[in-house]
Amino acid sequence: MSKMPEAPVPETPVPETPVSDAPKDNWVDLYAPVAVKPWLRLSRADRPIGTWLLFIPCLWGIALAAMVDGFRLWDLWLALSCGIGAFVMRGAGCTWNDITDRHIDAQVARTRSRPLPSGAVTVRGALVWMAVQAALGAVILFSYNWASIGLGVASLALVAIYPFAKRFTWWPQAFLGLAFNWGALLAWAAHGGALSVAPVLLYAAGITWTLWYDTIYAHQDREDDALIGVKSTARLFGDKTRTWLRGFMGLTMGLLGMAVLVALLGQTDMIKLVLALGGIWAFGWHMTWTMQRLNLDDPASCLRAFRSSRDGGLIVALFLAAAAAL
């Protein structure tokens, strides 16, 4: 494939403008001071769904670990700090992603209004902002045990590679899944001090879930991506996307169920097991309902379905937490 053409990126900042694909009346556009709006938009603070999707696997990991040996007072800090960490590290990751993709984003209608391609933020400023956010995330990470600190540092390799995945593979959504669901492993380790089979299965479930929701998301850009040579599972699957989505849905539910069964191995509390599996069933129902309403040829429908994935993930977290509290 020939080298991807690069659209010009302004060298000097221009007056701030809202990002076209952000929700209307988001808090950044409504309430943030003008001077900081471009930086918050660079971190996707005007689109909080990504923070939720990074945070939810952490909640899964905490709740599943607590199903084994109960909640601890430490878990309150763990949940709170994971939420803050998801916000700042998602911001750092999005900043890095936009730095590497600024020329691609300038060629896509949905993304050319982002701070870097629009010129609202310079590359040098974005690099400094990324470092600030990463430093805040490091402060939180170093409050955890050594096992989770090691896992957190290891995740940086996935974060660094992800923006380039769409250049060399048809499966960039898999790389996103590897990065976005690392919190399931980290949170389990932060609770109990070591990994086991159950959190690995939980992590795998998160990856297939990400393949499900991010393939839907990628269908918004498949025509622009085809023109500029960007790869995605949306382009790879084409007319067979729904079949693949059903497969990812089944794998996600199966892996979640296996994670619960392995975590509770040797326990005799059937109410806890039924409650956890009931949450997985409700999660599957939500995914099925989402697909019934999904029109892959309508970008607005794809965006609605993508955003609704937060609710499905929270259903699992709520049921696992309820089971752990018994």
Residue 297 lies in a domain: yes
Predicted confidence at residue 114, as pLDDT, reads 86
Summary count for the chain: helices (H), strands (E): 16, 0
What CA–CA distance (Å, rounded) separates 211 from 245?
8
The count of residues in the chain is 326
Q: Which domain range does residue 311 map to?
A: 27-325
DSSP classification of residue 194: S
Domains: count for the chain: 1
The CB-side HSE value for 249 (13 A sphere, CA atoms) comes to 20
Count of Cβ atoms closer than 10 Å to residue 260 Cβ:
27
> Is 201 domain-assigned?
yes
Q: Are the CB atoms for 301 and 293 separated by under 8 Å?
A: yes
Does residue 2 lie within any of the structural domains?
no
Look at residue 113 in the predicted model and tell me its pLDDT: 82
DSSP output for 97-133? HHHHTHHHHTTSTTTTTSHHHHTSS-HHHHHHHHHHH
Backbone angles phi and psi of 173, in degrees to 5 = -65, -30
* 10-67 residue pLDDT tens: 444 444 567 766 777 888 888 889 999 999 999 999 889 999 999 999 999 999 999 9
Please give, one letter per residue, the 3-state secondary structure of the chain: CCCCCCCCCCCCCCCCCCCCCCCCCCHHHHHCCHHHHHHHHHCCCCCCHHHHHHHHHHHHHHHHHHHHHCCCHHHHHHHHHHHHHHHHHHHHHHHHHHHHCHHHHCCCCCCCCCHHHHCCCCHHHHHHHHHHHHHHHHHHHCCCCHHHHHHHHHHHHHHHHHHHHHHHCCCHHHHHHHHHCHHHHHHHHHHHCCCCHHHHHHHHHHHHHHHHHHHHHHHHHHHHHHHHCCCCHHHHHHHHHHHHHHHHHHHHHHHHHHHHHHHCCCCCCHHHHHHHHHHHHHHHHHHHHHHHHCCCCCHHHHHHHHHHHHHHHHHHHHHHHHHHHC
CA distance 174 to 209: 10
The CB-based long-range contact list for 97-101 (8 Å cut-off, 24+ gap) reads 97/162, 97/163, 98/42, 98/126, 99/123, 99/126, 99/127, 99/130, 100/163, 100/164, 101/163
Query: Is pLDDT of 2 > 60?
Result: no
Name the more confident of 92 and 228: 92
In a domain, 166, yes or no: yes
Structure tokens at 178: 């590897």
- pLDDT at residue number 17: 67
Q: How far is CA 237 from CA 172, 193, 212, 250, 293, in A?
A: 13, 40, 12, 17, 19
Q: 194 lies in a domain?
A: yes
The string of pLDDT tens digits covering residues 169-217 is 999 999 999 999 999 999 999 999 999 999 999 999 999 999 999 999 9
Judge whether 16 lies within some domain.
no
What is the structure's pLDDT at 16?
Answer: 57
Tell whether 85 is covered by a domain: yes
Position 105 confidence tier, pLDDT thresholds 50, 70, 90? confident
CATH code of 305's domain: 1.10.357.140
Q: What is the pLDDT of residues 143-174, one digit of tens each?
A: 999 999 999 999 999 999 998 999 899 999 99
User: What is the value of pTM for the model shown?
Assistant: 0.90
Provide, rounded to the nearest whole percent, the portion of the chain with pLDDT above 70. 94
Is 8 a domain residue? Answer: no
What is the Cα–Cα distance from 168 to 172, expressed in whole angstroms? 9
Window from 117-121, 135-139, 303-307 with minimum mean pLDDT: 117-121
